[in-house]
Amino acid sequence: MSSPLKVAIVGASGKVGSFVVKQLTNDPTHFATPLALVRTPEQVKHWKSEIGIDAKLTSIENDDVETIAKAIKGVDAMVFSAGAGGKGVERIFTVDLDGCLKVAEACEQVGVKRFILVSAIMAENRKFWWNLTGLREYYIAKRSADRKYIHANKAEADFAEHKEIARQDVALFIKEALLHPKETNRKTIPLVNGTVPVNDFIKELA
Ligand SMILES: NC(=O)c1ccc[n+]([C@@H]2O[C@H](COP(=O)([O-])OP(=O)(O)OC[C@H]3O[C@@H](n4cnc5c(N)ncnc54)[C@H](OP(=O)(O)O)[C@@H]3O)[C@@H](O)[C@H]2O)c1
């Protein structure tokens, strides 16, 4: 069996991010102790002393690519689930867009081969979001960050049937995607809650 994957998470203190940390720490056979990249000393203390995972103080807005690269040296995979949470256009661009691109560039610098970006459903469909009040800039940022590597597939059809996914299920899928690179690499994978168990869904992606 291959050695456990070391995964770094940007946005570990967020809702999806903290479920991802739980998923990974509950599966020590496949995952080494995760690394949380966080932006306050209090968060570093929380993750290290209270939760017992690795944590580093890293600002995806203010640090340069080289600094971020240094912080993630040695990890096998990156999960990016940070988001400005709609706190103004400037932060959407510095976090959701440029922050994400900087982390991706840092991964390239140090040879982190897997990058999972938690995006926004229907980001590829400009007609869907162009007139959504207050969301246009957010979607521009998400779509542009997505397109660094990959192209869309059938987001529209999936979204028409179901409209939501629980964040716990996003985290479960992220863990499974890390374990199934062949089926999930270089893909935009729209996710909504439905009736297909995650393992069957992953097989369908092959
Ligand atoms: N409709 C959709 O498709 C949809 C719906 C929901 C979410 N999403 C996306 O899913 C992802 C995760 O969502 P969520 O609900 O988990 O969000 P969340 O709870 O708001 O968490 C966002 C995380 O981003 C971090 N963050 C914000 N600014 C940062 C910065 N400058 N540097 C580093 N970290 C920063 C926050 O850190 P702090 O803890 O330090 O504040 C937080 O941990 C986001 O990218 C969001 O856009 C998409």
Q: pLDDT tens digits for the chain (206 residues)? A: 689 999 999 999 999 999 999 999 999 999 999 999 999 999 999 999 999 999 999 999 999 999 999 999 999 999 999 999 877 999 999 999 999 999 999 999 999 999 999 999 989 899 999 999 889 999 999 999 998 865 545 444 455 566 789 999 999 999 999 999 999 998 888 888 888 889 999 998 88
Element (DSSP H or E) covering residue 35: strand 35-38
Residue nearest to atom 46 of ligand 1 (CA): 83
Q: For a pocket test of ligand 1, which of 79, 81, 144, 146 has the largest count of ligand atoms closer than 8 A to its C-beta?
A: 81
Q: Cα–Cα distance between 179 and 130 in angstroms, integer?
A: 35
In a domain, 2, yes or no: no
How far away, in angstroms, is 85 Cα from ligand 1 center?
A: 6
Burial 154-185 (b: 16+ CB within 10 A, else e): ebeebbeeeeeeebebbbbbbbbbbebeebbe
Q: Per the structure block, which two tokens stand in for 28? A: 């020590």
Q: Which residue has the least CA distance to atom 26 on ligand 1?
A: 82
Q: For the chain, how many structural domains are there in total?
A: 1
What are the pocket residues of ligand 1 if the criterion is a CB atom closer than 6 Å to any ligand atom?
Answer: 10-11, 13-17, 39, 59-61, 81-85, 95, 99, 118, 120-121, 167
Asked if the structure places residue 116 within a domain, the reply is yes
CB 175 within 8 A of CB 117: no
Pairing of strands 54-57, 77-80: unpaired
Which pTM does this prediction carry?
A: 0.94
Residue having the nearest C-alpha atom to atom 45 of ligand 1: 83
Active site amino acids? 138
CATH number at residue 105: 3.40.50.720
User: In sequence order, which residues have a C-beta less than 8 Å from that of residue 174 and are 6 or more positions away?
Assistant: 16, 20, 23, 79, 81, 116, 118
Does residue 67 form part of some domain? yes
pLDDT of 128 reads 92
| Domain of 153, in residue numbers | 7-204
Q: Please report whether residue 29 resides in a domain.
A: yes
Q: What is the C-alpha separation between 150 and 36, in angstroms, rounded?
A: 25
Residue 69: inside a domain, yes or no? yes
In a domain? residue 68: yes
Q: Is residue 1 domain-resident?
A: no
Q: Which residues pair with 56 in a beta bridge?
A: 37
